[in-house]
Amino acid sequence: MTREPSNSGDSKISVAFCCLGNICRSPMAEAVLRHTTSEMELSHLINEIDSFGTSGFHAGDGPDRRTVQTCRANGVPVNHVSRQVRPSDFERFDYIFAMDRENLEDLKYMQPRGSKSKIMLFGSYCEDAKMDKVISDPYYGGPDGFQCSFRQLDHFSRTFLKKLAAGTA
């Protein structure tokens, strides 16, 4: 069961992001949410933000250079070492946000029975009808795909944080 956040700071939540390899979308999401939480002065609501992949292909690697370039170009610091999701993550995090439907289904399959994590698409926090709720993998494309992912993640982060602050996340 997800803990209800409160503005008193005594019931902070934990958030994690997941994509396939944990080098493009999920470390970008982690960086964007961390930055936006600070920018919106809502750090009192979240005690931990992290990311991981459903696969261990890139475990131990840093973020893709295009992820780093895109984040830096948008004034968002990114610092992460890739890792694969662990069974303990399903108890550690209140929310685990998948970037796409495939990773959502993989996470639901991996989730231990009775664990507390609420697993959902981060795009569930989309309030722009023109924006795709699925964050497509930009790995095989150019810089435009990374910038598109960044715009989506920024929008979803702001919407999530507004709802979290209002107690409706």
Q: How far apart are CA 125 and CA 98, in angstroms?
A: 12
Can 19 be counted among the known catalytic residues?
yes
Q: What are phi and psi of 157, to 5 degrees?
A: -65, -45
Left, alpha or beta for 9 (phi > 0: left; psi -120 to 50: alpha)?
left
Q: Which residue among the candidates 25, 94, 100, 154 is catalytic per the annotation?
A: 25
Task: Provide the token pair at 78.
Answer: 């990114």
Task: Provide the token pair at 103.
Answer: 């990773």
Q: Which residue among the candidates 50, 64, 100, 137 is catalytic per the annotation?
A: 137
Three-state secondary-structure class, residue 55? coil
Q: Which residues pair with 18 in a beta bridge?
A: 52, 98
Can 137 be counted among the known catalytic residues?
yes
Catalytic residues: 19, 25, 137
